[in-house]
């Protein structure tokens, strides 16, 4: 039997970037606890959900680009008109630059292209604003309570540690972890606080969930070793290790919490 404090069954949960590495785990976490999960992605279909998740019961594909305000509004309106607004949003879609990125997007700060800066801010910050605005508007229109969870990053709380990436120069492919992701993710904290205070009396809670780096098969072993050496808990995260925080933030267990930043980072920001 589910602890009522952490019960999310019956909720209508929108997860953006729901086919990505962490998004997939968020979807499974809410699905397995009896929520209807609207899996948002630019190219999702029911067939893709079937193939990706195997069991796609309770999952509904929703297609939009988070930077397309009209498309997002229309999708959130359609959901609301068909049974009520979403009650939890996980703003998880994001755009980051990996160490394998080409030099034109990972060169020195002095050369970082303005158009790439705009693109990354557009997805990570403006896209979160667009989805939050549309989802919150539908919650208000129906006068229902809800929870909005904005997925931040330790690189939005602190600057990236560039030393971790120095090995790329030794391999003849210098890499500077770019500024755009950090600047965009950092903007989420005050987007969260603003919306939390704006909607506080209406039962719409807004919090940030801040993860640290997740291990991926595609990562360079040197990168993983350097990252792990800086990580107090002694390893990178698994993609499902933010599920507990997401369920907490979506459920009654966090009913007095809004405007906050829940950090799940293996201790990275504790140094």
165 touching ligand NAD, by CB under 6 A? no
Annotated catalytic residue 181: yes
123 touching ligand NAD, by CB under 6 A? yes
Q: Which helix (H) or strand (E) holds 28?
A: helix 21-31
Give the nearer residue to ligand NAD in terms of CB position, either 7 or 59.
59
| CA–CA separation, 247 and 7 (whole Å) | 8
Tell me the backbone φ, ψ of residue 40, rounded to 5 degrees: -100, 135
93 touching ligand NAD, by CB under 6 A? yes
x/- binding map, residues 202-221, to ligand NAD, per CB under 6 A? ---------xxxx-------
> Which residues, 31 to 90, sit near ligand NAD by CB under 6 A?
41-42, 65-67
Which DSSP symbol is given to 234?
A: S
Residue 40: half-sphere exposure toward Cβ, Cα within 13 Å: 28
Tell me the backbone φ, ψ of residue 41, rounded to 5 degrees: -165, 165
Burial of 47 (0-12, 13-18, 19+ CB in 10 A): exposed
17 touching ligand NAD, by CB under 6 A? yes
Give the nearer residue to ligand NAD in terms of CB position, either 23 or 85.
23
Give the nearer residue to ligand NAD in terms of CB position, either 7 or 245.
245
Of the listed 181, 189, 194, 256, which one is catalytic? 181
Nearest to 262 by CA among 189, 187, 203: 189
Give the catalytic positions in this structure. 181
**Which residues of the chain form contacts with ligand NAD (CB under 6 A)?**
16-17, 19-23, 41-42, 65-67, 92-96, 123, 127, 151, 153, 211-214
């Amino acid at each position: 039997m589910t602890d009522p404090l952490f019960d999310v069954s019956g909720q209508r949960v929108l997860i953006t970037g729901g086919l990505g590495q962490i998004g997939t785990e968020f979807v499974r976490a809410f699905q397995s606890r009896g929520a209807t999960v609207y899996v948002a992605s630019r190219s999702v279909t029911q067939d893709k959900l079937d193939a990706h998740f195997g069991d796609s019961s309770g999952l509904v594909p929703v297609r939009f680009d988070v930077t397309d305000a009209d498309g997002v509004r229309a999708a959130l309106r359609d959901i609301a008109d068909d049974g009520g607004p979403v009650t939890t949003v996980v703003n998880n879609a994001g755009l980051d630059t990996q160490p394998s990125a080409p030099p034109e997007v990972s060169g020195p700060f002095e050369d970082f292209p303005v158009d790439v800066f705009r693109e990354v801010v557009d997805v990570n910050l403006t896209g979160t604003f667009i989805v939050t605005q549309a989802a919150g508007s539908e919650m208000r229109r129906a006068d229902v309570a809800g929870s909005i969870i904005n997925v931040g990053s330790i690189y939005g709380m602190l600057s990236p540690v560039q030393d971790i990436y120095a090995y790329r120069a030794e391999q003849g492919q210098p890499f500077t972890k770019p500024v755009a992701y950090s600047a965009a993710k950092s903007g989420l904290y005050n987007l969260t606080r603003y919306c939390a205070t704006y909607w506080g009396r209406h039962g719409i809670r807004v919090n940030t969930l801040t993860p640290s780096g997740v291990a991926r098969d595609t990562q360079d072993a040197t990168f993983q070793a350097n990252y792990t050496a800086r990580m107090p808990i002694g390893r990178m995260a698994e993609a499902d290790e933010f599920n507990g925080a997401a369920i907490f933030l979506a459920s009654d267990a966090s009913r007095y919490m809004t405007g906050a930043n829940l950090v799940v980072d293996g201790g990275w920001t504790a140094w």
